[in-house]
Structure 1
Amino acid sequence: MNYPTEKFFGELEQVHAFYGEMPTGVSVTETGRIFINFPEWGDDVKATVAEIVDGELVAYPSQELNTFDPENPEKGFLSVQSIVADGEGTLWVLDTAAPNFDVPVKGGAKLVAVDLESNTIRKVYTFSNDVVLDSTYLNDVRIDLRRGSEGVAYITDSSITGPGALIVVDLGTGDAFRILDGTHSTSVDPDFVPKVEGEILMNREADGSTSPWQVAADGIAISPDGKTLFFSPLSSRHLYSIDTDLIFDKDIEDEELEKHVKDWGEKGASDGMITAADGTIYAGDYENNSIRVINTDGSMETLTHDPRILWPDTLSIGPDEYLYFNANQLQRQAGFHKGEDLREKPYSLFRIFIGKGPAKVK
């Protein structure tokens, strides 16, 4: 007898299969180069930033720069969580310096600008102790080169033990500051109960003890004109935004900023997000093995729903007008299953045609 089954849709292509460590970030440059990052979460990470070259992973910019030196924490990469090609010749590398979500190594948390033509580091931005806290986990970054002398970077602090926040970096001066620190929009939704692959996602220790797994501000996206910044806690289904002009308005105190945050409603629970050239936002939906679409009028729909989309992490739009994303089975890690690692290799880099290019940053 034939029974009705769940409907899956969307034409996915596997771009790369990962048989080693677990990836999180992916970014496709304006010339079609593909970069991947691998945070230090317990796997044997050979290089925390790599480029896919002829189907192989090559340490980027070099193996030397993927070797961390505790004596010079600002120089080498330790545990990179996000990489973003800005479409203007730079790969931005966000180093948490916090393997396994530990306290960041002093001086090691940094945003690094890598020149894609020379494949060399152009500038390193480090943070003061009042910006990167002991609880901070730098997660994702978006760039706007139109504001200030050299542009700004917006970074999410997706802490699991402290306040969530957005971190703003002046790329000209290197000055950085926190906004929406511990506010509702950057914090864990206390009523949110994530359900993935039919069960509640929570920390489950080998001894049988359990605790909630709660992650603050994570996904971030910026409108094509740089005027609106979108963000979402990982432990929430809501999409929020703030007008970027308000962030830099000296007449608005930081504690007043939350009043200007817009709640767009439920989009599904997301890890990564990305904006297309026409302002459409694409977001993962890790509870439903899907990629969601948030249209500029606020309406939402599902782009693809596929059983292979096992935790869609970072998203990137290439010059070929494909949406790229990693499916890395984050929910199957040992910490959620009494010490048993349920991940099945390979992890996958997928793409799906959307017919739109990436939003510009300049």
Structure 2
Amino acid sequence: MPSLIASILLVASVAAVEPQVLTDPGTFGPALQIAHYYYGQMPTGIAVSRESRLFSTYPACLDGNNTNTPQTPNKYQVAELMPDGSEVPYPSVEMNSPPGGALNMSTNPPTSANYDNYLIGCQSAIVDSQNVLYILDSGRAVNPDSGALLSAVYGGPKVITVDLSTNKVIRTYRFPQTVVYSDSFLNDIRVDRTPGLSGLTSNGSEGVAYITDSSLEGRNGFVILDLTSGESWRHLDNDPRVHAKQQVLPWVNGNPVLFAPQGQPYSRAAIGSDGIALGADGKDLYFSVISGRELFSAPTAALRAHDASSELVLAASITNKGEKGISDGLETDSNGVIYAGNVEQEAVVSYFPSNSSVQTFVRDPRINWADTLSVGWDGFLYFTVNQVHLMPNFYPGTERRQHPGEPWEKQSINQTRYEPLRAQPAPIFIETKTTSGTQDSANVQLGIWVAAWYERMRTVAAQAGIEERLLTLPVIQVVGGV
């Protein structure tokens, strides 16, 4: 018996001193903190005003559960996220309620509605340097019965500007059908209000908007909008740099993301020009495709030009900045740092134009599909995490988006709760109101994450060779079109 005991002790001793195996910690950078809970509709966009008011978009052009129909009324395309956790349709309930819904079923084939004074399918919104909200309406909506994305009709695709001091519409910009096609998908927008920009009318007093067309059916490219005259034009239609890279396969949470179009075999998702970010000085526009890992830039002066040779000049002036991972949205701060989601690394990364280096800004297992990013006047980076890759559009073709804390089987899509979080340099606990009381941030699964910067940015800036003096500037004070 003593020898048996000795053997057991020997085994225990060996186990106790077994070398540790290197393990991925799974997290990096500032901790994440809740900014808002989404209880119903799926969001994409997030925009932040000078007063830290938050606005989200809920695109009917992406999710049929967001589509207004006579059978499913009271949906909204844009809402203000209130401090008490509620979502208030913005700029009004009326604008979010097109008469008869967002679909026109009286035509053959059916189309999206063509209202120019109601919201149809809004993918993005952004607040400019003058605290004006720009709402980008694709003019398209998914038929919730068939799952088909219906074509746009003139009047539906538009940009609506709203004065945030009065909550009143300032102007509506409509696009001719030669610029925004019936199968276009207006995705993201950036605005530069700098007066006197080249290529614009009336000295460009109101500035310019740059918009991506991410159409799956048609031509990818850029739409440029003169905010003074309302004139618009296209650039780079199906240029290889704005088109999906062939056979690219994203991986999220260890699983391949395969497209599952209705009635067709599974395939690699071919999604072209999507996220854009305007450089801090307004001279370059950074862009990328979802089905690709590279970051590109184009001179904004070449994008604004629209003479006979402008397309050739623009195509020759695009620069490949190298890989930064598969991303949806992009954003810029006032130091010129470009932020991009990295869906394969559960992260947001930073690109430094001064030396073309890429660093991880924040990483966390709860970040899956970082969609839209928005730098706020309050010194935070906001971004939505909305589980796009778990929609029925992707393999295995079933609804897999989950609401935190409960098995999916207990929820229907209309009850899904998307939850926003935020990150600060030091871990803290936040109490968040739920239907069952309160819970701390450790229990939250997804949402909008807000990443605060200062300590992390000192480290990253030093690694990237950014001069210390740059960090003494007012960090994330919104400049130009940011």
Q: Indicate the TM-score class for this superposition, using the shorter chain for normalisation.
A: over 0.9
Moved more, 101-110 or 166-175: 101-110
Task: Provide the rounded CA distance (Å) in 2 between the counterparts of 1:254 and 1:119.
Answer: 38
Selected match of 1:309 from 362, 367, 389: 367
* Cα distance, 1:256 vs structure 2: 3.8
Selected match of 1:18 from 33, 38, 54: 38
Residues 1:152 and 1:205: Cα distance change in structure 2 (over 3 Å): closer
1:141 paired to 2:189: yes
Three-state SS of the structure 1 residue aligned to 2:344 is coil
1:150 paired to 2:206: yes
What is residue 247 of structure 1 aligned with on the other side?
303
- Report if aligned partners of 1:241, 1:262 keep a CA contact under 8 Å in 2: yes
The two structures have a TM-score, normalised by structure 1, of 0.95
Residue type matched to 1:357 in 2?
I
* Cα distance, 1:3 vs structure 2: 6.1
Residues 1:13 and 1:208: Cα distance change in structure 2 (over 3 Å): same
1:350 paired to 2:408: no
* Cα distance, 1:257 vs structure 2: 1.8
Residues 1:245 and 1:201: Cα distance change in structure 2 (over 3 Å): same
1:49 paired to 2:78: yes
* Cα distance, 1:248 vs structure 2: 3.6
* Cα distance, 1:238 vs structure 2: 0.7
Task: Provide the rounded CA distance (Å) in 1 between the counterparts of 2:241 and 2:327.
Answer: 14
* Cα distance, 1:208 vs structure 2: 8.0
Between Structure 1 and Structure 2, whose CA radius of gyration is higher? 2
Selected match of 1:323 from 372, 381, 385: 381
Which structure's residues are more often helix, by fraction? 2
Moved more, 138-147 or 193-202: 193-202
1:111 paired to 2:153: no
Residue type matched to 2:297 in 1?
S
1:213 paired to 2:269: yes
The two structures have a TM-score, normalised by structure 2, of 0.72
Residue type matched to 1:350 in 2?
W
1:9 paired to 2:31: no
Residues 1:206 and 1:272: Cα distance change in structure 2 (over 3 Å): closer
Selected match of 1:334 from 392, 402, 409: 392
- Report if aligned partners of 2:49, 2:376 keep a CA contact under 8 Å in 1: yes
Task: Provide the rounded CA distance (Å) in 2 between the counterparts of 1:313 and 1:49.
Answer: 16
How many residues of Structure 1 are paired with residues of Structure 2 in the alignment? 362
| Runs of at least 5 residues in structure 1 that lack an aligned partner in the other structure | none
Cα deviation, 1:175-233, whole Å, max 9, x if unaligned, reads 00001111011111114221222222112368783123211100001112211111111
Task: Provide the rounded CA distance (Å) in 2 between the counterparts of 1:206 and 1:143.
Answer: 36
* Cα distance, 1:337 vs structure 2: 3.0
Please identify runs of 4+ aligned residues in structure 1 that moved more than 4 A: 1-4, 205-208
Task: Provide the rounded CA distance (Å) in 2 between the counterparts of 1:342 and 1:128.
Answer: 38
* Cα distance, 1:143 vs structure 2: 0.3
Three-state SS of the structure 2 residue aligned to 1:218 is strand
Residue type matched to 1:306 in 2?
D
Q: Please, what is the CA RMSD of the aligned residues?
A: 1.9
Residue type matched to 2:208 in 1?
V
Three-state SS of the structure 1 residue aligned to 2:277 is strand
